[in-house]
Amino acid sequence: MTKKIFLSIFLVSTSLLLLSFFAFSVILYKDFLQNEKDFLWAEINFIKELVTTENIAISKIAKNSSYRITLISNEGEVLFDSKVNPQEMENHINREEIKKAIEIGSSESFRYSDTLMEKTIYIASMLPNQTVVRLSTSIHTIWAMIFELIPSFSILFLIFTIFCSLLSKYLSKQIISPINKINLDNPIENQIYDEVSPLLTRIHKQNKKIQQQMSELKIQLDKKINAEKLRIEFSANVSHELKTPLQSIIGYAELFENNLVKPEDAPKFIRNIKKESQRLVDLINDIIHLSELDENKEVSFENINLEEIISDTISLLATSAAKRKITIHFENHASKTWVKGVPSYVQEIVYNLIDNAIRYNKENGSVYIDLKNLQNGNLDFTVEDTGIGIPKEEHQRVFERFYRVDKSHSRETGGTGLGLAIVKHAAQINKATVSLESELDIGTKITVSFV
């Protein structure tokens, strides 16, 4: 870019120099030509004065004049010439300056010689004796004058060319310097030419757009990495979780197959096989539910009566609660119990929270369920138990898949470790938020806030 600016300035300056030379030559030539004409007119008027008043002969005047003097009769015959023998000269009646001088008293004309590159000026005036006196002088044409000035001008041109070259180099650096110092990371903070400001503003916008896109790409990449990590971890956990009940079932089956089970122990082993089979079925069902939630398929929202779903779920889990002597208390403090959501996913949330509150409770414990409206219009669904509780450092991890606070207790109660993961995903789909409060050996309180 610097080179282009340098060439542009240099070519403009040298072109202006050449044009100035020609313009100066034309002006100088016109001035010189006008001066020559003025001198000729002054000289011819002086000659007329000498001839008229002093009666001095033309031939005598011609000896002291630097111009060529010719005397012509009114019929065009050359009577006298200071340079050429009159007898050798042709009739001048048709010469422009002679013809006009006879007609109007005085005249001037120019004639060119392309061969000699000269221009001859003729000034003619009628004398009182009806003869015409003519003065003439030859000067170079403008082109001849220019050719004469070329050697001197070439030296000046070389000097000015060097000067223009240095000046162009300096100016191009001065012009480019602010551009080279532009901070492209923060374009709008640069103080530079007004003409460049729109470009810098556009670069700033492009930078912001690129940064935003890069951030979005990074987020997407992090999500994919995390998703892949979770997928691998989930696959490993699924394999492990499925293997445990299957190994137990296979082990009990082998005992029966080899007749190693006493008749009186058979009911106990059969109950264990049924328990592990049911655990396996529950685990598979939870995995299917979680996979459905992960698919992010399109869902349709409906108006749902949350109070009705809670009541139905309590009835469904009443037997499970009675076996562990758990008392369920449900209080509805909400005037509006309808929410917008996906029915099956809301049922999953309610079922899993109440089921967990029963499973991880202490014998003779209690489960407190509450509904209430908030000032922002949300509907809060809260499930609180008097169970084993969760250590503070593990509050966030309980929503991870297959994570259990107490693994032995979870296996005793038949927990799959997927309940809260299902709650978290189902809540996100229903645009609800989940919060948890818990203390070890005191109990857990989980609230789902529906919009």
* Per-residue pLDDT reduced to its tens digit, 238-264: 666 667 677 778 887 888 888 887 888
| Range 56-67 average pLDDT | 82
Q: How far apart are the first and last CA of the chain?
A: 60
- Has residue 140 got a pLDDT over 90? no
Provide the pLDDT for residue 155. Answer: 83
Q: Which residues, other chains included, contact 239 with Cβ-Cβ below 8 Å and sequence gap of 6+?
A: none
Provide the pLDDT for residue 409. Answer: 45
What would the two tokens of residue 228 be?
A: 């892949």
| Range 89-104 average pLDDT | 90
Residue 70 to residue 81: CA distance in whole angstroms: 4
Provide the pLDDT for residue 144. Answer: 65
Residue 141 to residue 381: CA distance in whole angstroms: 109
- Has residue 408 got a pLDDT over 50? no
Identify which has the larger pLDDT, 160 or 90: 90
- CA-atom Rg of the chain in angstroms: 58
What would the two tokens of residue 376 be?
A: 């922002």
Confidence of residue 142 (pLDDT cuts 50, 70, 90): low
Total count of residues recorded for the chain: 451
What would the two tokens of residue 326 be?
A: 């758990």
- What are the phi and psi torsion angles at 389 (to 5°)? 75, 175
Q: Is 417 helix (H, G, I), strand (E, B) or coil?
A: coil
| Range 117-122 average pLDDT | 81
Provide the pLDDT for residue 410. Answer: 47
How many CB atoms neighbour CB 117 within 10 A?
A: 14
Provide the pLDDT for residue 178. Answer: 67
pLDDT digits (tens, 9 = 90+) for 309-355: 999 999 999 998 999 899 999 999 999 999 999 888 899 899 989 99
Identify which has the larger pLDDT, 204 or 381: 381
Q: Is 39 helix (H, G, I), strand (E, B) or coil?
A: helix
